[in-house]
A and B are shown apart, each in its own frame.
Chain A
Amino acid sequence: MEVKLDKWHKCKVDIEVLKELSKKSDIKGLQHISLFFGLLILTGTLAYLTWGTWWSVFWFLVYGNIYSFSNPLWHETGHKTAFQSKFLNEIFYYISSYMANFEPIRWGYTHFVHHGNTYSTENPFDHEIEYGNNLKETPKGLIINIIPFLDLIFFKKHISYEIIQHAFGVKTKVMEECIPEKAQAKVIFSSRIYVSIWLLIILWSIVTSSWMPLLYFLLPQFYGKTLHKLVAFTQHAGLARNIKDHRFSTREMYLNPILSFLYWKMEYHLTHHMFPTVPSYNLDKLHHYIKDQLPKPNNGLIDAYREIIPALIKQREDTSHFIKKDIPQLQNV
């Protein structure tokens, strides 16, 4: 691949179109949030009402798998694009950070690095690369992540373990490389709050002799993560690293309306990386505006995994391997 740009590549968009599509809306954000939390309340209630039967297992799985899509809410509010109001973005940023098991300060900084150095394995390292930089371990990491409760066995690889380390003041790699000195105390304080909340939930379960508090507020990210992990893993998996061009490092795909809703339209991930201030509810419009300048999007999860799985297998043997995306402009040159 010849393309190596000094500056990030950006597709051509009329600035007036971009301005229009960058407009944020409290109403659209509130509609989305209401439906999302409404679904959680509905499925959570059904799980409660069917407690003691196998239906409860089913409804908890549904609840947990919806709950895990709090991660895209964290992402959207982190970019302050879920709502127009700064207050609404902030309050839901902290709520969704907890739900997603993302300590908010740490993930705020690493996401900043992720956007400035997407999929970079060189200095600065993109700490949001899935399962670190060990391509030989990536398939194993994916399997651990999609099978319910498996990461309790491999707990040291789980993001909760890092929070515990930070709560005890351990200087992890991410702390040293990504978090400015002046913000590290905030990360430690925030991690301690998280650990305290977890302990209170465990205590609540013990005192009430009930699994319910754990199942509703602590464990969904362990038993209900499958669907979200399968979707989110597609963002960069198998693609080129260390290149300042999102068309090569980031995947654009189409999803069905239900997944698209839960995922806050982050299937247009390439479009998002190029234009991160465009709210999710306009990403599809922007995608259609620039799609002639992008590689062909994957058509759904199955199509994406048809190219990802062989690439992951090859990368175990040859870490320089990656999926080469065809770029329309280059073909036309």
Chain B
Amino acid sequence: MAKITYNTHDNKTHTIEVQNGLTVMEGAVQNDIPGIDADCGGGMACATCHVYVNDEWLDKLPTKEDGEEDMLDMAFEPKQNSRLSCQLTVSDELDGLVVNIPSKQA
């Protein structure tokens, strides 16, 4: 289990215990957190689970696989700290992770 904090665009904060092995996207969907659409269901075939990761966490995350950068290029207002939350698998190391959900998805 890891505590993941999702900050939504309307300045609401949701801190959820997410099971190891699930993705940050699945944690949001399973807990009914608004703003993450995940249209492709986690297949890295869209950019609708886009999140901004707090800077202090960037180096602790798994590196981007081939294709994630391309997909992020399609996201709404991608930034340096953008990630697809379907590519962030939860583990103990991610306990305390904070992600910010953009105002809209692609």
State the A residues within 8 Å of B (CB): 7-8, 10, 15, 18-19, 22, 79-80, 86, 109, 112-118, 180, 182-183, 186, 244, 274-277
Contacts and interface: CB of A to CB of B under 8 A. Distances in A.
B32 A15 contact: no
B74 A22 contact: yes
Given A112-B29, A275-B45, A18 B39 contact: no
Nearest to A275: B45
Contacts of A117: 41
B74 A8 contact: no
Given A18-B74, A19-B74, A277-B46, A180 B32 contact: yes
Contact of A115 (B30, B40, B73, B105): B40
Interface of B: 29-32, 37-48, 67, 70, 73-74, 104-106
A22 B105 CA distance: 12
Nearest to B46: A277
A22 B76 CA distance: 12
Given A22-B106, A180-B31, A182-B31, A115 B43 contact: yes
Given A117-B41, A274-B45, A275-B46, A180 B74 contact: no
A116 B40 contact: yes
- Lowest 7 A-B CB distances belong to which pairs? A116-B41, A115-B41, A8-B43, A182-B32, A277-B46, A276-B39, A15-B70
B91 to A, nearest CB: 18
A155 B43 CA distance: 35
Contacts of A114: 41
A116 B46 CA distance: 12
A277 B106 CA distance: 8
B32 A183 contact: yes
A158 B46 CA distance: 32
